[in-house]
Amino acid sequence: MNRSSGKKKIVVLDGYTLNPGDLSWDDLAAFGDLTVYDRTDTRDVISRIAGASVVITNKTPLTEEAIKSNKNLRYIGLIATGHDVVDKQAASAAGVVVANVPSYSTMAVAQMTIALLLEICHRTAHHSSAVFSGQWPLRKDDTFWDYPIIELDQKKIGVIGYGRIGRQTAKIAQALGMKVLAYSRTAADPEIVSLDELYSGADVISLHCPLSDETYQIINRDSIAKMKDGVIIINTARGKLIDEQALAEALNSGKVYAAGLDVVSKEPIEPDNPLLKAKNCFITPHISWVPIEARQRLMDTAVNNLREFLNGNPVNQVNM
């Protein structure tokens, strides 16, 4: 899509996931000659951003080579919170501002976290399918269940990463009667405990920390060994927080009762991912952020980020 207004050149490299057609690009187009690509192969990045002063990206990488190729580039806007797809050092060296969109998906991701947990506890999809396939009338009783139904009241949820999403998840969990154990390198709330205390005490462990050298595969064979037998693990943060082979083994052995995952280490998921054959593993295709309300906030903030940059007051800048 191209919308020309005779102003600066603006290129969106991968706009489809944010806006598959139910939102509008008009506010962004007001700033210049806008070209929106649904997706961009890494081989086409340099040619597509040529001459653009503003480049918007979600997951398409902007490498040092790409940044250096365009002397007109002044601003990279992320339509996401994560910013590891941009070589921020190269951007800074070239005088290019990089801005992200924080906090837009807090409510949506926390809601999805609890949705995964409740699905594990109630198996609503399975039992609904059983009804529609005609199994209910075949049973002798007026009720039946194929899996244990789990009540969450008084159980402990261990929240690793106690930022906005972690706190909102904890708030919803508390409304269900759960007790909160949290781990954070920065927060000092009463519920903060050590990782070992969280591992040994939690009935449910939910990941909400950023991916870093310290958190890479924070869920691994050693950490799983410290957990309660029958623990439930939820991940709506980053796939690489989990050693997937170790989790698959723990699911198959029963050490981990179930896992609810909205993210995996490589997306789209690869056919040989061991979690695809693991017991009691629920995987959704990275959809925790996609409610239209959250995506509209994302769009609005991305537009405002660019507006403030053009006004000489960069906000949500993640480099320099």
> What are the catalytic residues?
238, 267, 286
Give the chain as a DSSP string. -EE--SSEEEEES--TTT-SSSS--HHHHTTEEEEE-S---GGGHHHHHTT-SEEEESSS-B-HHHHHH-TT--EEEESSS--TTB-HHHHHHTT-EEE---STTHHHHHHHHHHHHHHHHH-HHHHHHHHHTT-GGGSSSS---SS-----TT-EEEEES-SHHHHHHHHHHHHTT-EEEEE-SS---TTB--HHHHHHH-SEEEE-PPP-TTTTT-BSHHHHHTSPTTEEEEE-S-GGGB-HHHHHHHHHHTSEEEEEES--SSSSPPTT-GGGGSTTEEE--S-TT-SHHHHHHHHHHHHHHHHHHHTT---SB---
